[in-house]
Structure 1
Amino acid sequence: MAQPTGFKQEPHRLLTIPGPIEVADDVLYANAHYSVSHVGADFIPIFGDCIRMTRDVVFTQSGQPFIIAGSGTLGWDEVASNLVEPGENALVLHSGYFGDSFADCLETYGAKVTQIKAPVGEAVKMDQLKAALQEKKYKIVTVTHVDTSTGVLSDVKAVAQTVKEVSPDTLVIVDGVCSVASEEIKFDDWGLDVVLTASQKGLGTPPGLSILVFEQRKAPATSYYASWKRWLPIMKAYEAGTAAYFATPPVNLINAFYTSLKTITRSSMTVDERIKLHREASKRVKDAVSKLGLKQVATDPAFAANGMTAVYFPEGVTAPQVIPELLQQSIIVAGGLHKDIKDKYFRIGHMGVTAVDPSRGDIDKVIKGLNTTFAGLSANKQ
């Protein structure tokens, strides 16, 4: 499909929330492609390549990607309706808002859910997981790799290792909506069963795609649209170079996803190098926050995500004093989301082009904005 010819998106405020994120010019241009048939010769290889490149992002040879119109939330429905039958036990590792939400989804489909809730700012410890697995047989364990409400990073490798040691038949499900392409994920090496994500965060594409990779298993589905039995032949057909139909894919958005995936998996920068740049960008933001005397929600660097930073307001300072001031400097950050601390903190996203393309100056702008904003607050107190 057509490639950009000097296209530049209009000047706009810098979007540094934990998703959606800034989108590269070529990705945005690809999304504006003229309409094509979802079963046409122009689109079939694009979709097939997206499936193959999605495997490369999470380092799997055997995992089956599904790329479906929907948000990351659809991935929960896919897991709940395809892997867990009513009455079966599910264990949810809770590190923030999205643990509760995944649990709610599982219960909607009839699962019996147990949650292990970490203190705010922490991840569940492996001895807690081990004890829970020894008490009861669970069909699945879910872990939110990065909880967008807290910026807490869970050790997915350790979770998978613990589950396989204690309860090897239990499936390991990773909510990677805020981690895929910004955090290290080794699907095959770590023995993961499902990684679910979405297009609008580390994958650098506008919102609208639910993306999931799983190890193929036979299981009855209790959903129509989210049924893997219905989607599997579609994905296999497109990857084999032919078309098949169950529901219409969002062709323009998949074209944009294709463009972003080429940069992530087929450019001079490897996926591992891309993750390293996310770590470096994250360190710059977190160091700037520390120099301002601000406290992060994540209580330990080991729990802190690469793609975002959650920051407590100083004592006596509220969101209306910070977020609008950053907006005046053309920087958009997010307010709090976790119900226990909702009004006490804000969130900064630094994923995708913001993290890996220093020529844009996004990280510099965020740090300057933070310094200016909090210097002004200090001056007003004096």
Structure 2
Amino acid sequence: MLLQRVSIPHLSPLVRSLPRLLPRANLPVASLSLSRNMATNQGFKQDAHKLLVIPGPIEVADDVLFANAHPSMSHVSPDFIPVFGDCIRMTREILFSKDAQPFLISGSGTLGWDQVAANLVEPGEKALVLHTGYFGDSFEECLTTYGAEVRQLKADVGGVVPLAELEKALQADKYKVVTFTHVDTSTAVLSDAKSIAETVKRVSPDTLVVLDGVCSVASEEIRMDDWGLDIVLTATQKGLGVPPGLSVLVASQKAVKTFQSRKTRVTSYYASWKKWLPIMNAYEAGKPGYFATPPVNLIYAYHASLTRITKAQPSLEERFALHRAASKRIKDAVTELGLKQVPTDPKYAANGMTAVYYPDGVGAADVVPRFGKRDVVIAGGLHAAIKDKYFRIGHMGITAVDSERGDIDRLIAALKESILEATGKQ
């Protein structure tokens, strides 16, 4: 029997699975005739897998993964140019900005630090880093690498830097940038972005406010224009719900003008806005541009996810509410088990992830594998001071937003069963 002719727009993972499926059906692979005339992803489902609930990468929706399997295409193709342009425009929408400049560059979230350090801070200029965990140290190291003089204001583990301390530091010295990690992935601490920006603008209005939103964009509310943020940097593999590989940075017009008026050469080649700004402007204007090859397939996936977030239901505002609701359910379950969270106050606790101390006498080897046996993948500790004392759970994107998946129910069940079993109470 011959397999009926099928029309598939591109070689998706579904098609790649046919060689292993056809022998069971006793159908010859040679009888397949693939066409790209009908573009549809109906029926595509990614392979069964363990539930990924680390603080990034996160679970990816089927249509986003399908878009990532687009046929290989030129980065200056007439078909690709408007897709890239739409991504630039929709990236602004995520952050409630009208005129900020997005930079979509192949790389990880770390590349955002390099862009800030190389383009906005000239050697010898001062930077103030608000430290709420591991990634404050990393941002400091990056800034120092590019020649900045860096001071840190360090919060206690699980806490935030008091605004009064920030104000005092700004009154005592002049800083080119103030940086903070909106959600530090090592502690699940959520900083008050609006209040930090208000304080900086009031005390030192020329200072640029830089928000590291790698673990917060699309899961926490960020209003770039209204709050006076100058930089928001992130990556695709967390709240944006796309596979890793794309660095996303959005710069206010004030930040762009600061870059354009610098007195010294940009201290990076690949991260230089002198190279990338014309490229972003060209694609948004519907024209091709080239400096370095963009990750074309990943841009298609990013486009699919941004379309979900900005053009479909639930709305962006509703997504934030759903993240808060999912977070509350998980944190309530943690409390019911008698466990403590790393954030020292609930108002400092992120909505896209939860960091939990192990019960007394129990460690990572007792808990993490038990989640794994239930096909749920969580993360161990990261912060050096408490690395072996806690674990981390991510609940961003479709895991928090799509209740029909049942991810939160499954996660809570695995949490309760794993902890009770590890403590001998089950």
Tell me which interval the TM-score lies in, with the shorter structure as reference length.
Answer: over 0.9
Are 1:121 and 1:152, in contact at CA under 8 Å, matched by a contact in 2? yes
Shift of 1:3: 4.3
**Structure 2 residue aligned with 1:129, among 162, 166, 169?**
166
Larger RCO of the pair (alpha carbons < 8 Å, separation 6+): 1
Residues 219-263 of structure 1 deviation map (CA, whole Å, 9 limit, x = unaligned): 342111101111011111111111010100000000000000000
Map residues 328-367 of structure 1 onto 2, 5 A cutoff.
Answer: 328-367=373-412
Distance 2:55 2:422 in 1: 24
Deviates more, 1:142-151 or 1:214-223: 214-223
Distance 1:376 1:101 in 2: 36
Q: Which amino acid aligns with 2:336?
A: K
**Structure 2 residue aligned with 1:201, among 226, 235, 238?**
238
Aligned pair count reads: 381
Q: Which amino acid aligns with 2:304?
A: T
Q: 2:291 matched to which residue of 1?
A: 246
Distance 1:99 1:3 in 2: 44
Residues 65-105 of structure 1 deviation map (CA, whole Å, 9 limit, x = unaligned): 00000000000000000000111100000000000000000
Q: 1:372 matched to which residue of 2?
A: 417
Shift of 1:377: 2.5
Q: Which amino acid aligns with 2:364?
A: A
Q: 1:56 matched to which residue of 2?
A: 93
Are 1:3 and 1:26, in contact at CA under 8 Å, matched by a contact in 2? no
Inter-CA distance 3–113: structure 2 relative to 1 (3 Å threshold):
farther
Q: 1:72 matched to which residue of 2?
A: 109
Inter-CA distance 9–19: structure 2 relative to 1 (3 Å threshold):
same
Distance 2:214 2:202 in 1: 26
**Structure 1 residue aligned with 2:248, among 211, 218, 243?**
211
Structure 2 residue runs of 5 or longer lacking an equivalent are: 1-8, 10-38
**Structure 2 residue aligned with 1:233, among 272, 275, 278?**
278
Deviates more, 1:212-221 or 1:100-109: 212-221
Shift of 1:269: 2.0
Q: 1:96 matched to which residue of 2?
A: 133
Distance 1:319 1:375 in 2: 14
**Structure 2 residue aligned with 1:174, among 211, 216, 227?**
211
Map residues 17-32 of structure 1 onto 2, 5 A cutoff.
Answer: 17-32=54-69
Runs of 4+ aligned residues of structure 1 deviating over 2 Å after TM superposition are 377-381
Map residues 201-350 of structure 1 onto 2, 5 A cutoff.
Answer: 201-215=238-252, 216-217=256-257, 218=260, 219=262, 220-350=265-395
Q: Which has the larger radius of gyration?
A: 2
Cα RMSD, aligned residues only = 1.0
Are 1:21 and 1:349, in contact at CA under 8 Å, matched by a contact in 2? yes
Distance 2:170 2:423 in 1: 49
> Percent identity over the alignment?
66
Matched, 1:113 2:150: yes
Are 1:234 and 1:244, in contact at CA under 8 Å, matched by a contact in 2? yes
Distance 2:289 2:65 in 1: 27
Structure 1 residue runs of 5 or longer lacking an equivalent are: none
Distance 1:274 1:376 in 2: 34
Are 2:362 and 2:423, in contact at CA under 8 Å, matched by a contact in 1? no
Q: TM-score, normalised by structure 1?
A: 0.98
Shift of 1:379: 2.7
**Structure 1 residue aligned with 2:192, among 155, 173, 190?**
155
Q: Which amino acid aligns with 2:109?
A: G
Q: Which amino acid aligns with 1:30?
A: A
Q: Which amino acid aligns with 1:302?
A: K
Q: TM-score, normalised by structure 2?
A: 0.88
Distance 2:67 2:44 in 1: 10
Matched, 1:165 2:202: yes
Residues 251-278 of structure 1 deviation map (CA, whole Å, 9 limit, x = unaligned): 0000000000000001032211111100
Distance 2:423 2:300 in 1: 47
**Structure 2 residue aligned with 1:188, among 225, 245, 252?**
225
